[in-house]
Amino acid sequence: MHEFTEAFRLAFALVLAGDADLIEIVGLSLRVSLTAIAVACFIGLPLGAWLAIARFKGRGAVLVVVNALMGLPPVVVGLLVYLSLSRAGPLGSFGLLYTPTAMIIAQTILIAPIIAALSRQVIEDLHAEYDEQFRSMGLSRREAIAALLWDGRTALITVALAGFGRAIAEVGAVIIVGGNIDHLTRVMTTAIALETSKGDLPLALALGLILLVIALTVNALAMSLRRKSHSFAHG
């Protein structure tokens, strides 16, 4: 399988040469997926915490729905966002289709349920532990949510990483709403799909290796952040 050795050689050559096109698509991949994860956390964390401590009729059904949405197929999200942002669609007048913004919207929809569902679980466990204490302190629900989110932050970083992993790796949604346009909406995954369809399998695999290294780096950074926040909490 000379494709594998060729892929490693190519990956190193591309990185060492500081290939301008590569830097551009890596930059856009990170910009799109990190923005999506930030927006998804902004929506998903409070929602997850609220679901963890609120008690209302039909809560069980809502939890099932949120959990099920974790399995949203990217291509379906892409299609829904395409139909909404298309010039013929309800939001067409904004002219967002085939822009990085459209890609951020699609990935946010894809990962917000993951953040909400997983953080709900984390917060619910914490809440069971602290409920009495919060009661005796007379905290409002809003204050309790803030305290729980802060206390669960190390576990919630892992939740955010799960969402980021899903976003940076998906191709189905961004290729539909972004269009894989060179120098505009081409990201790592759509570039890999393109090179595969050109039959340039070593280059496709090389890009895949680089994507893997990027994911590793982001996870390593998050891990060191976790350690810092941990020592901060206990130091």
Partner 1 sequence: MLRPAITALLMMTTSTAAAGDSIIVQSTTSTANSGLYAHLLPMFEAETGITVNVVAVGTGQAIRNARNCDGDVLLVHAKSAEEDFVADGRGVERFDLMYNDFIFVGPPEDPAKIKGNSPTDALAKVEAAKALFASRGDDSGTHKKERALWREAKIDPSDASGTWYRETGSGMGATLNVATGMGAYTMTDRATWISFGNKRDFEIIVEGDETLFNQYGVILVNPETCPSVKAAPAQAFIDWLLSPAGQAAIAAYSRQGQQLFFPNAVKQDQNG
CB closer to partner 1 out of 120 and 186: 186
Distances from the Cα of 28 to the Cαs of 21, 87, 190, 235, in angstroms? Answer: 11, 24, 11, 38
Select from 179, 206, 210, 218 the one that contacts partner 1 (CB under 8 A).
179
Q: Does 197 bind partner 1 (CB under 8 A)?
A: yes
Integer Cα distance of 112 and 161 in angstroms: 12
Integer Cα distance of 141 and 125 in angstroms: 16
Q: Does 9 bind partner 1 (CB under 8 A)?
A: no
Q: Taking the complex as a whole, how short is the minimal distance between the CB of residue 91 and partner 1, in angstroms?
A: 12
Q: Does 92 bind partner 1 (CB under 8 A)?
A: yes
- Subset of residues 97 to 126 that bind partner 1, contact rule: CB under 8 A: 97-98
Span near partner 1 by CB under 8 A; candidates 65-73, 113-121, 151-159, 190-198: 190-198
Q: Does 79 bind partner 1 (CB under 8 A)?
A: no
169, 132 Cβ separation under 8 angstroms: no
Instruction: State both tokens at 95.
Output: 């002219």
- Closest of 8, 26, 2 to residue 203, by C-alpha: 8
Span near partner 1 by CB under 8 A; candidates 47-55, 81-89, 146-154, 207-215: 81-89
Integer Cα distance of 95 and 77 in angstroms: 18
Question: To which residue do tokens 């494709």 refer?
Answer: 3
Binding residues for partner 1, per CB under 8 A? 86-89, 92, 95, 97-98, 179-182, 184, 194, 196-201
